[in-house]
């Protein structure tokens, strides 16, 4: 019920009540603390989010997802050095975990290592079964970072005529290409799709360059979130 209210209904007060109830009933279940950490992150309560994520790792230290979520929350809140190490640790446990690849992509982009950012982005899309984008990001070596991102996004838009491709996946590429209007338009579609990561749009660092845009700010308000 907590996850339903948080991710799909955007009823955040009810979600918190359900998270607390779940934790009270079964305090030693890692998933309870990890999902609550994800919620706290979106509610702009970083210290609590990191604390809950660390507890989730303590309760399930062999689970790559536990480490990956901690890494992601550290990244969202600017704890970059620890986030880098945590992402590396996560990917040593599971080299194909999309959550960790998504975070490492952003970290490499922020550092200005665009060639490595492209390679990690390719691994991210490969792990999602979106080979059309993954192939372009690796093969199009004669194009700039932004051009490769645009070509990959256009490839996914093309195949979306024949099968479902989450709008969020395409929006990430356009955001990295600097096509902000296009990225926001696809984020609006992701909102309509109730894509599971849409309630993190206010903290996800992939959208950092969109945050001053009035249409992006309106989208955040529509999901009952704050920046």
* 115 located within any domain: no
Helices (H), the chain: 2-3, 12-25, 30-42, 46-59, 64-76, 80-93, 98-110, 114-127, 131-139, 145-159, 167-177, 180-192, 214-222
What is the percentage of the chain residues whose pLDDT exceeds 90? 97
Q: Are residues 134 and 226 in the same domain?
A: yes
82 and 145 in a single domain? The answer is no
CA distance 152 to 158: 10
> Quick one: 84 and 135 in the same domain?
no
In a domain, 5, yes or no: yes
Mean pLDDT, residues 90-95: 98
* Mean pLDDT, the chain, integer: 96
* Whole-structure pTM value: 0.94
Sign of CA dihedral 46, 50, 55, 60: positive
For residue 35, the domain's CATH number is 1.25.40.10
The total of structural domains in the chain comes to 2
Which residue from 145, 195, 135, 139 is spatially nearest to 165, judged by alpha carbons? Answer: 195
Instruction: Say if residue 133 is in the same domain as residue 87.
Output: no
Q: How confident is the model at residue 9 (pLDDT cuts 50, 70, 90)?
A: very high
pLDDT of residue 195: 96
Determine the structural domain holding residue 10 and report its residue range: 1-91
DSSP 199: G
Q: Is the pLDDT reported for residue 140 higher than 80?
A: no
Q: How many other C-beta atoms are found inside a 10 Å radius of the C-beta of residue 164?
A: 8
pLDDT at 139: 75
Separation of alpha carbons 220 and 181, rounded Å: 15
- Where would I find the beta strands (DSSP E) of the chain? none
Q: What is the mean predicted confidence (pLDDT) over 208-220? A: 97
Q: Domain check: are 76 and 150 in the same one?
A: no
Q: Which of 21-30, 108-117, 136-145, 177-186 has the lowest mean pLDDT?
A: 136-145
């Amino acid at each position: 019920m907590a996850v339903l209210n948080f991710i799909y209904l955007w009823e955040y007060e009810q979600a918190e009540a359900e998270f607390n109830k779940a934790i009270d009933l079964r305090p030693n279940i890692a998933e309870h603390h990890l999902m609550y950490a994800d919620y706290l992150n979106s509610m702009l309560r970083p210290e609590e989010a990191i604390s809950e994520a660390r507890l989730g790792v303590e309760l399930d230290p062999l689970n790559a997802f536990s480490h990956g979520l901690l890494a992601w929350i550290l990244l969202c809140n600017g704890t970059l050095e620890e986030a880098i190490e945590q992402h590396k640790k996560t990917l040593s446990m599971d080299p194909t975990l999309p959550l960790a690849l998504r975070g490492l992509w952003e970290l490499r982009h922020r550092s200005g290592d665009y060639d490595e950012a492209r390679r990690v982005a390719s691994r991210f899309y490969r792990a999602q079964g979106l080979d059309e984008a993954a192939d372009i990001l690796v093969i199009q070596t004669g194009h700039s970072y932004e051009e490769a991102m645009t070509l990959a996004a256009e490839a996914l838009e093309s195949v979306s005529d024949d099968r479902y491709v989450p709008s969020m996946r395409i929006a990430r590429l356009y955001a990295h290409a600097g096509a902000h209007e296009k990225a926001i338009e696809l984020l609006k579609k992701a909102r309509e799709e109730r894509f599971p990561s849409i309630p993190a749009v206010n903290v996800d660092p992939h959208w950092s360059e969109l945050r001053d845009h009035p249409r992006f700010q309106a989208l955040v308000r529509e999901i009952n979130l704050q920046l």
